[in-house]
Structure 1
Amino acid sequence: MATGPGRAATAGGRDRRVLLGILFMCISAMIFPFMNGLVQILSRDYPSEQIIWARTASHLLVALLWLLPSQGVSALRTRRPWLQILGSVCLITSTAMFFIGVKSVPLAKAAAISFTAPFFVALLAWPFLGERIRGSRLLAVAIGFAGVLVVIRPGLEVVQWASVLIVGSAACYGVYQVVARRVAGHDRPETSVMYSALVGTIIMSAIVPWVWVTPKTGLDALMMVGLGVLGASGHYCVVRSLAYAEANIVSPFQYAQIVGSVAIGWAISGLLPDIYTWIGSAIIVAAGIYIAITQTRRTPAASAVFTERPIRPD
């Protein structure tokens, strides 16, 4: 078996791609709390459907202004159209559930519940991506969901439906990440960013005329546009991350959102998370980190899945 400089260079290149994937996921984790904070502010005066539409439509506008001058219609050229549509539907469903739920749930608590997304990734990555999961990782998933129960405390809150919506949002987002990783071997990240905005905008444009409320101030309109700018930037980083590294490795690094969510939630409401949110978050994060560490020990068969038709990351 070869063990010379060529093999070392290959391993070094793989390690560099993993680190880049982690970096992009961490950047996305710094962006999304700002977007969620804007959602909470806008939800005081505008219907959720309009906020979701503003998020997707401004995302599409940003993507068009960014990609069309340099790539033209080739930005929409995909080798896996049905996977792109499936991922986009999962993403808009996740967005809708989260935006509706976060109206009634503190930002840090909502972020903690959304941290279950990597567990759904872990459960789905084996059948769909070939990233194997062992019994110990299944146990970690179960422990992570126990942490969610600590955060939610079923039966002790008035607004249980909102927490359930955020769990549903995490499940849809987990599916989206798995689909994005599957597509990453065939389409450029820019194509996925474009489709995620296009499909959501088409769906929400059929709904928003029935609930439309004209923005009361220029600042409100600017915040609505800001949703798309932040969302497009965050999801580009997610897609870029998944193009560099396996979903089970990079997805737990979205836990960094808890820092921004606590800070922005405190700035908006003046409240800090209760002890149960901190304890549950710690359980969820610990379980997710365990999954991330053990998942890096890949089998050759699993690794081969990601050497098939890789995209250029630049």
Structure 2
Amino acid sequence: MSSRAQGAQAQRGATAASGPPPGSARTASAPSVSAQPLAGIALLLVSMWALSSLDASGKWVMAAGVPMLLLSWVRYASHFAVALALIVPVKGWRILASRKPREQMLRGGAMLGATLLFFTTLRYLPQAEATAINFLAPLIVLLLAPWALREPPRLSRWIAAGVAFLGVLVIIRPGGGLDPVGTMFGLAGAFCFSAQYIASRRVAADDPLTSVIWSGGVGTVVLSVALPYVVPTALPVLRDLDPLHWCVLVSTGVTGCFGHLLQIAAYRKAAASTLAPFTYLQIVSSTTTGWLIWGHFPDALTWVGIAIICGSGITIGVLEWRRARRPPARP
């Protein structure tokens, strides 16, 4: 789920944790949400296919021998370049200015950590199962909300997180065929994604396009430090890559950037509460790409676990939405 580092789950997780999603149209600097729910849903679905393609592309080029750190650098550098090329001509260089640069750097660091953990997970686990484990992240945000976001504790959130974790246990059950190392990386990645979502709340005053640029920039700068140590050992593999592998490698950042921009457009067309249930359809795009490329399709029990996680997330999302719409009690 490196691809989803600012993706639909971040939007959903922050929404469920009360208030508008970070980087959505409801932030202070963004325009108001327009009443075009079908357009918003369509944009969200396209973005999920783009981001699932990124996940599949990363897994594919790693299978060809490309080191994970080099893949991540290309993913962030091309994301950063595309974001600058598309956003700056329209918004001007002022779009780079952040009201909270420290928080943006923390968010970018959390996103980078989530990327590295998810790409590592993809080396061990099928794409669908890795994606399903990461659906825990928004519910972890709800679990930590009383401390991380200073929100009142709610039993419904704890129950939802507990039920979702049971779903994960069904997926990673003994005898399920999943590599335990990949499973541990997947769970660690879910916690890292939750940290990114919480950090996203802290930069909600920035234009969401600013966050798109900063997320690519932070990852590029940090990974550039490691590049001199990675490239020499990767040169033999890079020399043997054919043009298709090079195109797929570079496409990771392009599809990632476009996926994030499409999500921003989706949340400007429709309310987060409208889009929240559809974010779980990413499991469809992840399963489809995994099946088309590697011939892997989750078994029946794995689908039960996926359904438990998705059902828990959708249920708590509806409860939080209804609670937010409830008029405040009179004194």
Give the alignment's TM-score, normalised by structure 2. 0.77
The residue aligned with 1:308 is: none
Question: Does residue 1:144 correspond to 2:169, yes or no?
Answer: no
Q: Which amino acid in the other structure matches residue 169 of structure 1?
A: G
Helix, strand or coil for the counterpart of 2:92? helix
The residue aligned with 1:210 is: 229
Going from structure 1 to structure 2, the CA distance change for 1:171 and 1:79 (only over 3 Å counts) comes to same
Could you tell me how far apart the structure 2 residues matched to 1:226 and 1:236 are?
Answer: 15
**1:188-199 map, 5 Å:** 188-199=207-218
Offset at 1:15? 8.8
Question: Does residue 1:291 correspond to 2:316, yes or no?
Answer: yes
Residues 196-249 of structure 1, C-alpha deviation per residue, up to 9 Å, x if partnerless? 000001111111332223251222221121100111122334556678899888
Q: Which amino acid in the other structure matches residue 233 of structure 1?
A: F
The residue aligned with 1:95 is: 115
What RMSD, in angstroms, separates the aligned Cα atoms of the two structures?
A: 3.0
The residue aligned with 2:53 is: 34
Helix, strand or coil for the counterpart of 1:273? coil
Going from structure 1 to structure 2, the CA distance change for 1:222 and 1:112 (only over 3 Å counts) comes to same
The residue aligned with 2:191 is: 171
Offset at 1:29? 2.3
Going from structure 1 to structure 2, the CA distance change for 1:145 and 1:205 (only over 3 Å counts) comes to same
The residue aligned with 1:258 is: 283
The residue aligned with 1:230 is: 255
**1:100-115 map, 5 Å:** 100-115=120-135
Helix, strand or coil for the counterpart of 2:323? coil
Helix, strand or coil for the counterpart of 2:123? coil
Question: Does residue 1:279 correspond to 2:304, yes or no?
Answer: yes
Offset at 1:67? 1.9
The residue aligned with 1:46 is: 66
Answer whether contact 1:189 1:236 (CA < 8 A) is retained: no
Could you tell me how far apart the structure 2 residues matched to 1:17 and 1:179 are?
Answer: 29
Answer whether contact 1:193 1:239 (CA < 8 A) is retained: no
Going from structure 1 to structure 2, the CA distance change for 1:299 and 1:79 (only over 3 Å counts) comes to same
Could you tell me how far apart the structure 2 residues matched to 1:61 and 1:222 are?
Answer: 16
The residue aligned with 2:143 is: 123
Answer whether contact 2:124 2:181 (CA < 8 A) is retained: no
The residue aligned with 2:292 is: 267
Offset at 1:128? 4.5
The residue aligned with 2:88 is: 68
Could you tell me how far apart the structure 2 residues matched to 1:101 and 1:60 are?
Answer: 24
Answer whether contact 1:30 1:256 (CA < 8 A) is retained: no
Offset at 1:151? 0.5
Could you tell me how far apart the structure 1 residues matched to 2:184 and 2:174 are?
Answer: 10
Going from structure 1 to structure 2, the CA distance change for 1:24 and 1:94 (only over 3 Å counts) comes to farther
Offset at 1:167? 1.7
The residue aligned with 2:102 is: 82
Could you tell me how far apart the structure 2 residues matched to 1:139 and 1:65 are?
Answer: 45
Question: How much identity, in percent, do the aligned residues show?
Answer: 35
- In structure 2, runs of 5+ residues without a counterpart are 1-31
Q: Which amino acid in the other structure matches residue 108 of structure 1?
A: A
Helix, strand or coil for the counterpart of 1:296? helix
Could you tell me how far apart the structure 1 residues matched to 2:78 and 2:59 are?
Answer: 18
Answer whether contact 2:34 2:268 (CA < 8 A) is retained: no
Answer whether contact 2:35 2:270 (CA < 8 A) is retained: no
Answer whether contact 2:46 2:262 (CA < 8 A) is retained: yes
Question: Does residue 1:182 correspond to 2:202, yes or no?
Answer: yes
- In structure 1, runs of 5+ residues without a counterpart are 1-12, 304-314
Offset at 1:48? 0.7
Offset at 1:177? 2.3
Answer whether contact 2:276 2:314 (CA < 8 A) is retained: no
The residue aligned with 1:7 is: none
Offset at 1:152? 0.9
Residues 73-106 of structure 1, C-alpha deviation per residue, up to 9 Å, x if partnerless? 2121010111111111111110100001101101
Going from structure 1 to structure 2, the CA distance change for 1:169 and 1:247 (only over 3 Å counts) comes to farther
Going from structure 1 to structure 2, the CA distance change for 1:16 and 1:246 (only over 3 Å counts) comes to closer
Offset at 1:277? 1.5
Going from structure 1 to structure 2, the CA distance change for 1:117 and 1:222 (only over 3 Å counts) comes to same
Give the alignment's TM-score, normalised by structure 1. 0.81
Helix, strand or coil for the counterpart of 1:43? helix
Going from structure 1 to structure 2, the CA distance change for 1:301 and 1:278 (only over 3 Å counts) comes to closer
